[in-house]
Structure 1
């Protein structure tokens, strides 16, 4: 209690409330995201899209939702570990969570993009060169016409 008779809020309470809020956001992301992806899949089937296409799109959508939810949960774990419970066991558990998240992230990236995350710059550079070549070719055709 402070001098005015009100309760003091401790640093520990504020951090715990922030972590609970972040974890709640992660749960909302997961619940809303999964519902959205499944609703889209149902709509696509009603539109008579092929099962294979709907399956692949749904699987990729679910992977993205899971990855985002997992990243938000890890943010909460990092805050909790660094701000309140900085012990060797908790840091080890956090490290394990980060490794799992990194593996899942890479697996989803390979599945959704067809390449490893570190290949993104190579792919973007190749795409940029291809677009530049196409633009030069169009400009030459327009100039000759």
Structure 2
């Protein structure tokens, strides 16, 4: 393919990586401001901390999704080799485990226990 195409792909990959990093950083800053606001307006420390953990976890999860997408584009389109594919597989496994454990921390339950939290679903599929 043309050199400009690979340059565009590299630039796109970098933009997605920067977006993922920005999401994590801005999410942490936003969560910090939100918890400070909550505490200053009388919310209990425990409730504010739980909200903070939840918001930070969500920011990290979303940022990780962007970073994984950038890694996939980089491996599949820019550097398609067995070594880069194995590295991508390792990165995806680590990030998947991290995402899974963050989701458990945020929700406070296993994903397969979701139906227990909101009650049993009715016959039309709603809780």
Fold similarity call, TM over 0.5: yes
Higher RCO structure (Cα 8 Å, ≥6 apart) = 2
Gaps of 5+ in 2: none
Among 48, 60, 63, the residue aligned to 1:54: 48
TM-score scaled by structure 1?
0.75
Aligned residue pairs total: 125
SS of equivalent to 1:128: coil
RMSD: 2.6
TM-score scaled by structure 2?
0.84
Deviation at residue 116 of structure 1 after TM alignment: 2.4
How far apart, CA to CA, are the structure 2 residues paired with 1:101 and 1:126? 31
Distance 1:13 1:68, change over 3 A: same
Distance 1:9 1:84, change over 3 A: closer
Gaps of 5+ in 1: 1-7, 135-145
Which of these two proteins has the greater Rg computed from alpha carbons? 1
Among 48, 61, 80, the residue aligned to 1:67: 61
